[in-house]
Amino acid sequence: MHYSKLRISSDATSKLRAMRQRMRITPNLLCRYALMSSLEDGPIGNAPLPDEDGQEFNASTLTGEQTQLFLAAISVVEEETSNKTPSNARVLELLRCHIHRGIGSLSVRLRSPADLFLRKADR
Amino acid sequence: MLIRNIVLEDFGLYAGRQVIDVQPTRGARKARPIILVGGKNGAGKTSLLEAVRLTLYGKLALGERTSQSAYEDYLRSRVHTGPSAGGLGRASVGIEFEFAESGVVHIYEVSRAWTVRGNVVQESMDLRKNGETVTVVPRNEWQNFLHELLPVGVSQLFFFDGEKITEIAEDSTDGHQLSAAIRSLLGIDLVGRLRTDLGLYLSRNQRSDVGSNQELETILAERDKIDEEVRSLSDQRADLQTQLDGQRRESAKAQQRFTVGGGEVALRRSSLTAERSALDHERTTLLAQFKEGSSGLWPWLVAPTLVARLQLALAKAGAADQDAASRLQKRFNAWQKKADAATQRRWTQEHKDDFQALLEATFKASDAPAAPRALTAVGNATQILTQASAQQSIVQGFAERLRTLEERIGEIDTSLARVDETTASYLLDELRGAEQSYGQTQGRLKVLQESLDALHYRRATLDKSREKLLISQAEDRRGTRQTELASRIAASLAAYETALIASKVRALEVAFVDCFNRLARKGDLVREVRISADNFQATLIGKDGAEIPRVRLSAGEKQVFAIAILWALAKTSGRSLPVIIDTPLARLDSDHRAAILERYLPEVSHQVVVLSTDTEVDVDMVGQLSDFVAQTHHLQYLPDERRTAVATGYFKSRKGASSALL
């Protein structure tokens, strides 16, 4: 499946802005980490949808060459609870949800890029 | 061309008339092209380079389209003001050079003098050929005459400083710097301007499409506006840079005073600061690696459990499909054998084929477990995931190293703060004040640089749309004879430009590989370089045929890259000019330094003037170079007289080495 543009929540946007300084990478790449980190935390189910008042990304910058695999990973994770493959439109909603949730938790957890890859026990 | 000497009179830190002889000599077997000019920071090395540029280019030396008043301010600021200054408000710079014209060597003397009276700056220029004032060329054409002798764009490849090297080395968009250099080297800007003018002519004469006419004019107008902004920001940047240099000197002096007067504490503080800056440097490299990884597969590595699950699902899906299909096939075959003759006859080969196809179609699409269907639809899923997992250990190493670094930096900062808290010292306050204002200026500089980059980007976008417009115009066959003619000229100009760039880029590629490998420490690191003729992006190809990403080069290697580019450009320019380099080695490690010293400096030109500090080219290195050094000069700042004295010999503090030289 394809999408061309995606708008994230205003809350996530302002958190991204704050994180940018610490993490030294652009918001689109931070979103990829946020997505993966949220997926690792498990399905999001029927959580309320975040608003769409924040930054807008092109698909090519947001998920880039790996778009298909990112979206597939969302389907796989979410099927756990609903037992059926989400529709295309739903996958995009879930993409927004996961990015929103991921940014929320990363913004608390990350002090430096190193924190992305080291377990909590290592600290 | 060969510069015989540089004359400075009450210019900057130089009091009175100073003549610095920079002629290379011939040794017994080899030429000695290098002239070493040593001086500590603030001793006036850069003034020498400035003086040469100013002499040759006047106002243009400060950059294209510098305003007259900015230029006059500059001249005013460069008049010597030490206690021994005559108070006449007069200064001059000049050079004497040999230039061969149709096989005959002529001696030219150029000088530029100016006097400052109140608000008025009066400048005059003198040009002599073989001792006589030039009369063949009228006085007001002298400047153009010099430009033709040595174009500004070309001179940038021969007279440059460490700053320029860093600019090219750190140029993340790298096409921009290179593109400017190549274009000015070839004079291609002229072709571009011609094409734009033709485009304007065309659009004004093509009544039919008013739209494109206005579009082109809008683009050109906006581009001019951006140029204006870029210029003003560049000016601001230059101001800030000067301020920053001053603050750096200030803070170095404060450091010195503190070291002398601060005792134990000062020693500890300076060792901590040194360690911190080394760590900072390493962190920058790590962060570059992080940036590259993040746009690749690193994001997958924050979800190891999920990745493992996906891999498992993919493997199972494949296996399950195979399994079910082959079991059914076997059953069918067995049933066929047992069936009676009539049934067997009814199943023709065609039937069997159909059944076979049905089996395949079924198991390919639907019977797999629901979960991985989204996954199996992604063609390269397995490949991506495997590649991601393979980077696990690299990422782990990166993260651990970064964490160690950051913890150590934190410790150092705490210790530094403690040192600072427990020491009540006027000298320390002074030092910290100096460091703080240095840091602030640096921050402002960075912000400015970002907006400049944004402008450059917008300008590049505009240039692209202009290009598109011009091409579509050139292809347009409608209109009168004149416009048709103009279209055809535009088309051939475009073709000419492309071909010209392509052929020069080819030559540059060859020269670059040669230069780079001569300089690089790791022998034949680079087998080939591809420079794109569209955006001048340089891609290095290693000896195994794989691309070497720029971020993987160390800071030192990037500098070598930049120097090799400059060298290759100078070679391709086909001009035989002297090279003047200001503080070239500041950021290189000792191995790269040795390579630059031994292989670059002696070979790059018949005359190489090196302006350096004692830490950059130290006494040992001078020893290594001694076969190639024709002369050495030493610039010494005399604080009491607020002037710089020029003496022969390199840093004299260590007698053995300098006497071994001359």
- Among candidate residues A36, A66, A32, A83, the one with its CA nearest the CA of residue B303: A36
- Among candidate residues B163, B48, B1, the one with its CA nearest the CA of residue B610: B48
Best mutation site among A69, A78, A101, A105 for testing chain B: the one with the most B CBs within 10 Å?
Answer: A69
pLDDT (average), residues B433-437: 88
Q: Which residue has the higher pLDDT, B659 or B253?
A: B253
- Inter-chain CB proximity A79 and B400 less than 8 Å: no
pLDDT, tens only, B119-173: 888 889 999 988 888 888 888 888 888 887 887 777 878 888 777 777 777 665 5
State whether residue A31 sits within 8 Å of chain B by CB: no
- Inter-chain CB proximity A112 and B381 less than 8 Å: no
Residue A99 has a pLDDT of: 94
pLDDT, tens only, B473-505: 766 656 667 777 777 888 888 888 888 888 888
As for the ipTM of the complex, it is 0.94
Distance in angstroms (rounded) separating the CA atoms of residues B501 and B78: 40
CB pairs < 8 Å spanning A and B = 92
- Inter-chain CB proximity B374 and A114 less than 8 Å: no
Verdict on whether the full-model pTM lies above 0.90:
no
- Inter-chain CB proximity A36 and B306 less than 8 Å: yes
CB-based contacts of B525-529 (< 8 A; 24+ apart in sequence): none
pLDDT, tens only, B300-318: 999 999 999 888 888 877 7
- DSSP for B324-368 reads HHHHHHHHHHHHHHHS-HHHHHHS-HHHHHHHHHHHHHHHHHTSS
Distance in angstroms (rounded) separating the CA atoms of residues B599 and B520: 10
| Residue B288 in this model has a pLDDT that exceeds 50 | yes
Residue of B nearest to A102 (CA): B302
Task: List the 305-324 stretch of B: residues with Cβ below 8 A of A.
Answer: 305-306, 309-310, 313
Q: Which residue has the higher pLDDT, B137 or B107?
A: B107
Considering CB atoms only, which of A68, A77, A84 is closest to B378?
Answer: A68
Q: Which residues of B touch A116 (CB under 8 A)?
A: 302, 399
Considering CB atoms only, which of B302, B374, B379 is closest to A116?
Answer: B302
- Among candidate residues B9, B25, B15, B52, the one with its CA nearest the CA of residue B581: B52
Least confident range of B329-333, B335-339, B479-483, B568-572: B479-483
Backbone angles phi, psi at A5, to 5 degrees: -140, 155
pLDDT, tens only, B589-638: 777 777 778 888 888 888 999 888 877 777 777 777 888 888 888 888 88
Q: Which residue has the higher pLDDT, B30 or B366?
A: B30
Which amino acid does the sequence have at A47? A
Backbone angles phi, psi at A75, to 5 degrees: -55, -45
Given pLDDT bands bounded at 50, 70 and 90, which one contains residue B652?
low
- Inter-chain CB proximity A69 and B384 less than 8 Å: yes
| Residue B96 in this model has a pLDDT that exceeds 90 | yes
Distance in angstroms (rounded) separating the CA atoms of residues B382 and B310: 9
pLDDT (average), residues B570-590: 80
Task: List the 257-296 stretch of B: residues with Cβ below 8 A of A.
Answer: 287, 290-291, 294-295
Partnered with residue B579 across adjacent β-strands are: B608
- Inter-chain CB proximity A113 and B290 less than 8 Å: yes
- DSSP for B157-214 reads HHEEEHHHHHHHHH-TTTHHHHHHHHHHHHTHHHHHHHHHHHHHHHHHH-TT-HHHHH
- Inter-chain CB proximity B378 and A118 less than 8 Å: no
State whether residue A92 sits within 8 Å of chain B by CB: no
pLDDT (average), residues A83-101: 87
State whether residue A76 sits within 8 Å of chain B by CB: yes
pLDDT, tens only, B494-552: 888 888 888 888 888 888 888 888 887 666 667 788 887 776 777 888 777 777 777 67
